[in-house]
Amino acid sequence: MKYLYERVSYLRGLADGLQVSEDTKEGKLLVHIVDVLEDFADAVNELAEAHDELDEYVECIDEDLAEVEEEVLGDFYDEDYDDYDDDEEFIEVECPHCEHTVLVEEEVMEDDDADIICPNCHEPIYVDFDEIDDDEDEEEGES
């Protein structure tokens, strides 16, 4: 942003060197144009500083979020965080309210007292186990 100030200073120096005076209409216009350019340079500089501060803040949030993800999701992912643990079995269930696909642990699906809540719309998901079994049978028959 320093170059903007340098260029405005150069224009101000040219105006002073040409002895542009505010006594004439043209001189008044040129002096005010240089003043406005300086205001623009100030505004751009402030925006750049604010952008840099926001960029640093977002980086801190990203690092904090990565720590939280590791803490919360660390049990579900392997050490590369690419695949689910082999110990865990998940079933894909589509929310009937928002059609969001939810991964539910098989243990939870087998528990009749467990409530499954959609993380997207926060509505309860009621699962028809017969329908899931039929879908799995169809997929095995297609192979």
Distance CA 27, CA 89 (A): 79
Q: pTM for the full model? A: 0.44
Cα-flanking dihedrals φ and ψ of residue 102, to 5°?
-120, 135
Q: Which residues pair with 101 in a beta bridge?
A: 94
Q: For residue 2, give both structure tokens.
A: 């320093």
Query: Token pair 């998940």 is at which residue?
Result: 90
State the Cα–Cα distance between residues 9 and 2, nearest whole angstrom: 11
- pLDDT tens for each residue of the chain, 143 residues long: 788 889 999 999 999 899 888 899 999 999 999 999 999 999 999 999 999 999 999 999 999 998 888 888 766 654 444 554 555 678 888 888 888 888 888 777 777 777 888 888 888 887 665 555 555 556 566 55
Position 30 scores a pLDDT of 92
Enumerate the domain spans of the chain. 2-73, 90-142
Half-sphere exposure of 1 (CA within 13 A, CB side): 16
